[in-house]
Structure 1
Amino acid sequence: MTIVVTGATGSLGRLIIDHLLSRGTQPQQIVGVGRNTAKLAELDALGVSTAVVDYADRASLDAAFAGADTLMLVSGSEVGRRVEQHSNAIDAAKAAGISRIVYTSAPQADTTALILAPEHKATEELLQASGIPFTLLRNGWYTENYESTIAQARATGVYLASSGDGRIASASRTDYAETAAIVLTSDGHEGAVYELSGDVAWDGDEMASALSHVVGRDVVFSSVSPEEHVAALTGAGLDEQTAGFLVALDGNTRDGLLATMTGDMKRLLGRPTTPLREGLAAIA
């Protein structure tokens, strides 16, 4: 069996490969593809086959997928271009005779109002139309998304957000990567849709408490309005579009769209997910 992992030079894709190797998959059974040649060279040194691939370059996809059995389709990072890019990858997989696709989607992608979901919903529809057996890993929120928050809390003693009393069931990226590796290397997942999240949904005060332990100073949660949040972000140097996007995500949090806990990831892992404080400490 040969597994192609897209986005292998990104954080999630590389971790998936690490977990595949730790679970006993032989390096020569893995093809890591991406655009960063320096990071691909690191995989080469482990014995993993690699290829330089651009989602927009169909020929590069065709060459990389040739002879593979399974595609780990890690969703692209270019918001607004994902549907086209994923379509190219799915078409190349079909042409190569790949018999299984595992895709990293978004929570409740087919029904949610989450701002990030539409491109994932469209990709799920492409997978359904492809005729290739697939598994959906609807990844929830990553604790690593708060890397800059740690620095802010260390400097100011404040965790500022417009999420109100909303909760987030985040988990560490390695949890999601290990789950993907388990699905890739075990049977019984065809057609499955896994809603993946952390075991605990935390609120702003609980995040502030976790940050206090990690940065070694008291951190308080400053709950602001969306308008105040935009002003704070643009005042810190963010452009209005990025600030608006981040504030919209906090709005999704207020609406409870990132708080769902199904226990799917804990069951697949056979262990609890990484607690918030531990995950933040690993980042710090």
Structure 2
Amino acid sequence: MKILVTGAAGKLGSNIVENLVKKVPASDIIAGVREPQSEKAKAYEAQGIEVRLTDFEKKETLVEAFKGVDRVFIVSTVPVMETAIQQQKNTVEAAKETGVSQLVYSSAPRADVSDFVLAAPHRERENIIKESGIPYVFVRNNWYVENELGTIQQCLNGAPWVTSAGEGKVAWVYRPDLGEATANVLAGDGHDNKAYELAGENLTQQQFVDAVNEVTGKEIPLLAVDTEDHAKMVKEAGVPEEFVSLLVMIQNGIREGGLEAPHSDLEMLLGRKPTSVKEALQILLK
């Protein structure tokens, strides 16, 4: 069985490959990358992993890459709806033309029903896969702990943790856990046409900051503001205008429960307890 991982040079994709080599022969793994001559690609080849060009913007590269492949992991890409949809169409059409037997897609929490700002492109991309008739698995990844590292560093340098998310909770998850769980799906059986919610602990912003403080020994203060003041502060911090509204909408979505997880399939797919937020921070901030 041949398994191709798109985005294999990225952080999630490379973690999936890293876990796959523990489960299947390297000769059964294909790393899909945008730059086949990169150092990362050469490192894969040194492990006996075949490297193929996969450019979501160029369907012909996908058709060539998918030849002889049984299962394909599709990494999620840009949040821009129009671009994301065309990329997904290219990928699914290439999979149909080459006889791929399973598509595994990294989606968003409760993408089929959520009103969260980032869910809509994923919902459309899930629907494109469903309509193809190809057996699928949706691994709906919640918010990475790693997403907060930039903010944490600013806070360690003296800034407060600014939020307009109120008491909304986020099911923060450690990215390597997602890579391991996805590798288990790709290498296993019995997952066809299922959607898995992959989430960690549901914590408020204050609880997350408390965990950071416990790990670092610091006393980072939390500054709770309303949406208007948050947008103003983000602008004053030099964030490009096109990202200000997105960041604020994400905070609004968190406040409304968009990233809280009623349940998680992560422990079941891992076969162990997921890494806690505190444990993840201890690894990431050491």
**Where does residue 55 of structure 1 map in the other structure?**
56
1:3-53 per-residue CA deviation (whole Å, 9 max, x = no partner) reads: 01011111111100001112x211111111121423222222221111222
**Where does residue 242 of structure 1 map in the other structure?**
243
Q: Residues 246, 131 of structure 1: CA spacing in aligned structure 2 closer, same or farther, 3 A cutoff?
A: same
Whether contact under 8 Å (1:150, 1:215) holds in the other structure is no
Write the letter of the residue equivalent to 1:178: E
Q: Distance in 1 between matches of 2:46 and 2:155?
A: 38
Secondary structure of the residue that 1:201 maps to in structure 2?
strand
- 2:167 is aligned, of 150, 165, 185, to 165
RMSD: 1.3
**Of 50-59 and 72-81, the range deviating more from structure 2:** 72-81
Deviation at 1:157, TM superposition (A): 5.2
**Where does residue 7 of structure 1 map in the other structure?**
7
Write the letter of the residue equivalent to 1:3: I
Q: Structure 1 residue 29 and structure 2 residue 28: aligned?
A: yes
- Per the normalisation by structure 2, the TM-score is 0.95
Q: Distance in 1 between matches of 2:277 and 2:160?
A: 17
Write the letter of the residue equivalent to 2:32: V
Specify every segment of 5 or more residues in structure 1 that has no aligned partner in the other structure, as ranges. Answer: none
- Per the normalisation by structure 1, the TM-score is 0.95
Q: Residues 243, 214 of structure 1: CA spacing in aligned structure 2 closer, same or farther, 3 A cutoff?
A: farther
- 1:152 is aligned, of 151, 154, 165, to 154
**Where does residue 139 of structure 1 map in the other structure?**
141
Q: Structure 1 residue 255 and structure 2 residue 273: aligned?
A: no
Deviation at 1:215, TM superposition (A): 3.1
Whether contact under 8 Å (2:79, 2:121) holds in the other structure is no
1:212-250 per-residue CA deviation (whole Å, 9 max, x = no partner) reads: 133331112111111111122111111122121111101
Deviating runs (4+, > 6 A) in structure 1?
A: none
Alignment of 1:84-123 (within 5 A): 84-123=86-125
**Where does residue 208 of structure 1 map in the other structure?**
209
- 1:176 is aligned, of 149, 162, 178, to 178
Instruction: Give the paired residue count.
Output: 282
Specify every segment of 5 or more residues in structure 2 that has no aligned partner in the other structure, as ranges. Answer: none
Secondary structure of the residue that 1:50 maps to in structure 2?
strand
Alignment of 1:222-233 (within 5 A): 222-233=223-234
Q: Distance in 1 between matches of 2:100 and 2:249?
A: 37
Secondary structure of the residue that 2:173 maps to in structure 1?
coil
Whether contact under 8 Å (2:163, 2:225) holds in the other structure is yes
Deviation at 1:209, TM superposition (A): 1.0
Deviation at 1:76, TM superposition (A): 1.6
Q: Distance in 1 between matches of 2:52 and 2:188?
A: 25
